[in-house]
Amino acid sequence: AQTVTQSQPEMSVQEAETVTLSCTYDTSESDYYLFWYKQPPSRQMILVIRQEAYKQQNATENRFSVNFQKAAKSFSLKISDSQLGDAAMYFCAYRSGGGAQKLVFGQGTRLTINP
Amino acid sequence: DAGVIQSPRHEVTEMGQEVTLRCKPISGHNSLFWYRQTMMRGLELLIYFNNNVPIDDSGMPEDRFSAKMPNASFSTLKIQPSEPRDSAVYFCASRAQGLNTEAFFGQGTRLTVV
């Protein structure tokens, strides 16, 4: 079974600085998708960024980018120019590229932005 | 589109009572998922449907939990009888067909069983 591990329960960063959230995963599959979801205090799960395992190029969405290291099974999220609105729980998630459609989530990292 | 709609947003009930959570997926999405979020166990899949058919219910904790999807626009998750350990946030998510699509989540139902 696939597992996702986020080793940082909490992180904090100064506003306008850059922060990196770590995620590792375990799988024997070669075809899969990885995601970062943001959960603000409103509870809504919001997709931040996604990465297809077959793509070597790291995904980027504005201030959010990932460092995908397939051999190391690592998928970190970098937030540049941190803003107060980035404060939230961040979840790393895995989905098989095959039949199983469910998302497997890490335990989450609580990100605090210091003004 | 209004997104995935869940009701109620909050539910407080007494132990032993029946609880029904509701979900309306995004129109056109053919996969629907029920997740539960707790501090101890994080986010875990309870069950998911493809084209209204349950595909994987291995995450359903026990017989007290049941889920139905009578049509493409509605699903329920029922707990009968409820217990205090069922207190959690329950999320519904839906996804369109295709490998390269993503799941969209509702705002969740916070269930408290006292």
B23 Cβ contact list (under 8 Å, min separation 6): B4, B5, B6, B32, B34, B74, B75, B76, B77, B92, B106
Alpha-carbon distance of A64 to B51, in angstroms, equals 34
B95 CB neighbours in chain A (<8 A) are 101
| Angstroms from B25 CA to nearest CA on chain A | 15
Tens of pLDDT along B81-110? 999 999 999 999 999 987 778 899 999 999
pLDDT tens for the 114 residues of chain B, in order: 679 999 999 999 999 999 999 999 999 999 999 999 999 999 999 999 999 999 999 999 889 999 999 999 999 999 999 999 999 999 999 999 877 788 999 999 999 999
What tokens appear for A95 in the block?
A: 């989905």
Inform me whether the C-beta atom of residue B58 falls under 8 Å from chain A C-beta atoms: no
Tens of pLDDT along A44-102? 999 999 999 999 899 999 999 999 999 999 999 999 999 999 999 999 999 988 766 88
